[in-house]
Structure formats: structure tokens, C-alpha cells
Amino acid sequence: KQEVTQIPAALSVPEGENLVLNCSFTDSAIYNLQWFRQDPGKGLTSLLLIQSSQREQTSGRLNASLDKSSGRSTLYIAASQPGDSATYLCASRTNDYKLSFGAGTTVTVRA
């Protein structure tokens, strides 16, 4: 069974600092890894999807990397803003439909 871990559980940074969020998984036989953002009381918004054949994906200030051999993915958020405050979850897909989610990292960006 795939185990997905996100450390740290919470992170607080001053505005402008770069954010580094970590995700590790035990089974490297994945189709892809997806990063989501969740605001309080809201659903999950997909941020980036990295296929197993890719090393990274970028969207604006967000960059996600994937190292399947070591079972790790990292989400980088450049020049953080208060609006980036949210919980970020990673999820790996190990078969044609099942996603295994991490518990998330709650980010607070201080103005």
C-alpha cells in the first residue's frame, strides 16, 4: 500500500521568502504525482501534475520536481505572498484510478 508523507505539517514564513514543500512516497511505481491547494472550508484545487516520465513541471511561481527513484517530490513557491497561505497536499497515483494523499502542509505567509 502506498504511503505518502508530507513534512513539515505546518510552515510559517515572511512574505517574499521562497517556500519548499516536501512529499515522499514509498512505492515508486507511480503513474503521476499531483499537487493540490486547499483553502479552509473549500475543496481541493489542482496546482500541478507531474507524469512519472517527467522531472518537473512549472506554472508561474510554482515549480514541482519529481524523483521517482528516491520517492520524493518537492513543490517550490517563489516569492511567497499572503495569498499563498493554504494547505498543500500531494497525491500519487499508483494504479489507473487510486490516489494516495499525504496529510498536507499548512502554510502561513506573514505580511
Partner 1 sequence: DARVTQTPRHKVTEMGQEVTMRCQPILGHNTVFWYRQTMMQGLELLAYFRNRAPLDDSGMPKDRFSAEMPDATLATLKIQPSEPRDSAVYFCASGLSSPFEKLFFGSGTQLSVL
Q: Which one, 53 or 111, has the nearer CB to partner 1?
A: 53
The footprint of partner 1 (CB under 8 A) covers: 31-32, 34, 36, 41-46, 49, 51, 89, 91, 93, 95-99, 101-104
Q: Which one, 12 or 95, has the nearer CB to partner 1?
A: 95
Q: Closest distance between partner 1 and the C-beta of residue 97, in Å?
A: 5
Q: Closest distance between partner 1 and the C-beta of residue 78, in Å?
A: 22
Provide the 10 A C-beta neighbour count for residue 28. Answer: 15
Alpha helices in 1-111 (DSSP H): none
Read off the C-alpha cell for 85.
497561505
How far CA 22 is from CA of 67, 74, 91, in Å, comes to 12, 5, 12
Alpha-carbon distance of 26 to 40, in angstroms, equals: 28
Q: Closest distance between partner 1 and the C-beta of residue 76, in Å?
A: 20
